[in-house]
A and B are shown apart, each in its own frame.
Chain A
Amino acid sequence: MLAALVIVFREVIEAGLIVGIVLAATRGVPGRGRMVALGVAGGIAGAGLLAAFAGRLGAAFAGAGQELFQAGVLIAAVAMLAWHTIWMSSHGRAIARDLRALGAAVSSGQSKLAMLGVVVGIAVLREGSEVVLFLYGIAATGGSSAPGIALGGGLGVLAGAAVAGLVYRGLLAIPAGRLLGVTGWLITLLAAGMASQAVAFLQQGGVAEVLVEPVWDTSWLLADGSIPGRLAHTLVGYTDQPDGLQLLVYALTVAAITLAGRVVRAGPTHRPAHAPARGGAT
């Protein structure tokens, strides 16, 4: 039972962290609860489908289907997180002064909220499919330990959800004026970590076999397989043996998002006349 709890917990915790951060980043935005709930529900449905077709997906693209799929959804999530962060940096400064204005400003950008809903969905989909496969395997093979393992799995899901709640609560303790800055950075690092993970999947699929040498090894300090290692992996993209291409893509993603955000923020005069009015109207 304990083993099942740990296995399920460490999958759910990754999705839980992302849900917690997205909830904090969209504080005060109308409709975000519905969007996150839709993301979670869509992710769970997708996870079931993904688990059901795991065999067929794995066989596609000369056996690299699974890696290409994982890399594809990760790149989609990176694009959406990047877009959101860049967009927030153009509106964030003004709306951070008045939290109530945030709702008004972001409700004019419901499509951005939808993007975060999709990110939640992707996170739940990726981790959820592994939980489904694991628990289905237990159910399929039966055995006397099955009820205990199911209980452990259920507790693991609850523990993962509790982490999402803790992250959310913790982030809300940050003063409202600084919250947007903090979540902006969290989401930037989250996106960079996902981009580097996408690279790892492409390399694993034999698709991007360049700079595959690990640059350093810090597994003695923080191992990828441990729970703290997994937390760091989800939050900032930590991996104990990053290779050259992963580091390169990580750095490029952070640079691209922060620089693009800065360019957007510095040049509001280039925007069409109606754009500032939309953000500023209260």
Chain B
Amino acid sequence: MPLAPRRAHRLALPLAALAVIVSPVTPRAAEPAPIEVTIKDHRFEPAEITVPAGQAVRLHVRNLDASAEEFDSPALKVEKVIAANGAAIVHLRPLKPGRYAFTGEYHEDTARGTVVAQ
């Protein structure tokens, strides 16, 4: 009994660290090209993004505004800062069919959109 907890303790953090080091950062070759999304005047274009259900996809989000934005969606489990005049890749996990709202957290009144998985 005293051995097991020690082992668990020793393994937990190194394993997490290992996951960072070992895993490939580059996307898999099989993945389709990212879907282009732009932010302009604190609005998403397109505001409705259709993706295939059950399949991981990537969004290439370009921010054309002079201020940073945060792509935020609890439903999609994404929160990612996109720098002013910058771009970022947003990974979407395989989704069940449905509608998933997202917002630009810094301009919530205008920056709103929906991912539709079908």
Contact = CB atoms under 8 A, between A and B. Distances in A.
Interface of A: 3, 7, 51, 54-55, 58-59, 61-64, 66-68, 71-72, 75, 78-79, 82, 129-130, 133-134, 136-138, 140-141, 195, 198-200, 202-209, 212-214, 219, 223-225, 239-241, 243, 249, 252-253, 255-257, 259-260, 262-263, 266-267
Interface of B: 2, 4-6, 8-9, 12-13, 16-17, 19-20, 23, 25-27, 56, 58, 65-70, 74-75, 77-91, 93-94, 105-106, 108-109
A161 to B, nearest CB: 21
A259 B8 contact: yes
B81 A66 contact: yes
A195 B12 CA distance: 10
B67 A136 contact: yes
Contacts of B82: 58
Contact of B16 (A54, A61, A195): A195
A141 B67 contact: yes
Q: Is the interface of A mostly helix, strand, loop or mixed?
A: helix
Nearest to B74: A224
A200 B19 CA distance: 13
28 contacts: A7-B106, A54-B68, A55-B85, A58-B81, A62-B89, A63-B88, A64-B89, A72-B20, A75-B13, A130-B70, A130-B81, A134-B106, A137-B66, A137-B69, A195-B16, A199-B16, A202-B23, A203-B77, A204-B77, A207-B19, A209-B56, A209-B93, A219-B74, A225-B74, A241-B77, A249-B12, A252-B8, A255-B8
Contacts of B109: 3
A7 B20 contact: no
Contacts of A253: 12
Contact of B94 (A212, A219, A249): A212
Contact of B77 (A198, A200, A223, A263): A200
Given A55-B86, A195-B16, A202-B19, 16 more contacts: A54-B86, A62-B89, A63-B88, A75-B20, A79-B13, A130-B81, A133-B67, A137-B67, A137-B106, A140-B67, A203-B77, A207-B23, A208-B23, A256-B8, A263-B2, A263-B6
Contacts of B8: 252, 255-256, 259
Contact of A249 (B2, B16, B84, B87): B16
Contacts of B84: 55, 137, 140
A63 B89 contact: yes
A3 to B, nearest CB: 7
Contacts of A79: 13
Nearest to A225: B74
Contact of A207 (B5, B25, B74, B77): B25
**7 A-B pairs closest in CB distance:** A137-B67, A259-B5, A55-B83, A224-B74, A63-B89, A260-B9, A55-B86
Contacts of A203: 77, 91, 93
Question: Which of A55, A206, A207, A224 has the largest number of chain B CB atoms within 10 A?
Answer: A206
B36 to A, nearest CB: 14
Given A58-B86, A78-B13, A198-B16, A206 B91 contact: yes
Nearest to A198: B16
Contacts of A72: 20
B106 A133 contact: yes
A208 B19 contact: yes
A199 to B, nearest CB: 8
**Centre residue among A67, A223, A239 by max chain B CB count within 10 A:** A67
